[in-house]
Chains A and B, each alone.
Chain A
Amino acid sequence: MSEKALADSPVALLECRRINKSYNGPMVLSEVDFSMKRGEIHALVGENGAGKSTLIKIVTGVTNRNSGEMLFEGRPIGIEHSKTAAQVLGIAVIYQELSLIHGMSVAQNLFLTREPRLPGLPFIDIGKMNSLAQELIDRYGFTLKATDVIDSLSIAQRQTVEILKALNSKASLVIMDEPTSSLTSTESAQLFGIIKRLKEDGIGVLYISHRMEEVYALSDRVTVLRDGRKVAVLEKAEIHPEEIIRLMIGRKLDDRDSVHTMRKSDREVVLEVKGLSSEGKFSGIDFQLHAGEILGIGGLVGSGRTELVRALYGIDPHDSGSVEYLGKPWEPGVAGSIRGGFGFIPEERRLQGIMGLISMTGNIGITNIDVIRKMGFVSDRKELDLARKAIGLLNIKPADPSVLVGNLSGGNQQKIVVGKWLIRDLKLLIVDEPTVGIDIGAKEEMYQTFARLAEAGVSIILVSSDLPELTRISHRILVLRKGRIIKEFSEGQVTEEDVLKASSGILPGGAK
């Protein structure tokens, strides 16, 4: 049977009909229809909690649906689906966090548990394994060697290996969950090339992304989910970013200009940093932060941005220089910072921000322990009040404080991380990549929250790689390069290009 004939066959690759799912109580998916053809690039979009991840989990057998029909290549899949069954059928998932084994070679990863054996012997035929792997790599024209060790590869290359792994297991449906979130634009372009190759081979690609331009450029069809229901399926000609967003959130967003006006604040100085240095991380950092100001910190990953804000919050020590907070000398230290009105939203939510196996209440309570404690004891009632307040403030779903944070969607997890600070008497909020991996609606909410805080006089330091985000919500931008402030945008017009150029060291009239 040729790939072509299969691609033309009327039987859909995947057909889901009236899928229903609830974990505990509320419906996460209701009556969702979803179908995919062979050789189709299909984008699945929706806000946080719209049910995208759940749908994927049902298809891949990570969780079971409550009701509804599911057919793969025309064959029905029972309610009791499993991950193994999905793999056998040819459904492969490329997760955000990659599942490769470090310390092993590309070939070893590709052939894990299916290693070719020496004839008649229980030993692995390493030569054969490597050559088979290399064949596969070459067939897709990747610049990889079968003997490369995973640790030596970039994130994009590792993702390529993941895809190869799927191809090697004869997958006919490849699911990618936010594949470009950690890629540079060049790497993303390469990935798109690969996705198109998969399509040509008759493989269906189901693609979740929050980046509208990607969805627009790549997809043959788009399925939009909202609040656990299918809202629309758009054909190629109907795909317009504006329309998708409107369908996703049911409200129209303004066109975002790429040119933004910086405005210098003349309000009182909240934080003054003088010559702050930390060996090998950053040096000679000077800046002032005013009340109600959103100070953006741009620069490439590794420019010292994260290290600087960690030092300001007091997680890591600094070597020299000084910090003044509210007009007084300030020795940063986490507990003191929190008492003093600091808030900190770390860059890696799952690793640093949340305690997944603990309830929303517990997550919020631990940060606000100074508020809810009376002597050495903790007031459960006050803690619950705080949790309810945070849930209400940020419209966290589900609005049940006893839910384990690990069970929330990415956007709602991030709301917990932000929310636990908002209920405090906050003066300075440090945020590091606050909107990575959350959808556009939750991003908007996040930006509005920051704007509201700034209006209320809270100063915000925003570290971001997202240039539209950085230029749009910052009042002033510092660009770091190799641990130093290379450029400050404090007035006039700024575009994303200006910031990117400065980050890369291209400055008109030399460095400041």
Chain B
Amino acid sequence: MTTGADRFAHDVRAVRVVWQREMIRFFNDRLRIVTSLIQPVLFLFVLGTGLSTITSGAVHGLNLRTFMYPGALSMAVLFTAMFSAASIVWDREFGFLREMLVAPISRWAIVVGKCLGGATTASLQGVLILALAGIVGVPYSLTLVLTVFGELLLLAFTLTAFGVMTAARITQLQAFMALNQMLLMPLFFLSGALFPLSNLPAWLQVLTRIDPLTYAVDPVRRAVFAHLHVPVAAVHRLNPGVSWDGWRVPTWLELLIVAGMGAAMLGVAILEFRKAD
């Protein structure tokens, strides 16, 4: 009755509509947009300003807030992406997931649509933080905005894929939120969002290299630093990059790691949803 091409076209239509629903819900829920902004803004302006007093306002001539800015960007994406993934648990609890599961579409379309939706909403949230660049001393530049947006999009996609993968197994919202809280904070702290990843004790050095989020935060920081005019010493100290045993991991490899993990988790999520009734 239907050919493979028809079928694929129909699935693509389904991906789009699942994505669209995420968009509608995101823009309808202004409170959520504001509340997701609070945490990164707190980190950036309260923690960043507060800690500046210890480091006498600036490190190597660079404001601490400027240093923490890439971390705040990642944080905004982190929480919004997880919230998006949580909506799949929410959908299950309120029955709407079933409307999608019983439709004559492939299961991958639901998962991909959800992940793209989560990625888009989370990066839009990142854009709001991106708009604060001037306040923390980062110049506004089109290339910077585009580079960072692309990197955040990739990070958001991987995070949503991770969330959807866990949401396939966990059917209760509370359990899902608890698990994420447990995972997100260590991931965030170890990612280099808050401190430079050089001159660390060995154990911490190892943990930061294992943290997948590290490979998403570093490219953002590199992009930001590329647009700053700071002394070489400061760059060396504050933007050391990620190195494996002395070898500095190039940006493309970092992004590939993030993308590879995203693809793998997306695959697992699809397999899991194919089994679900």
> Do A and B come from the same complex?
no
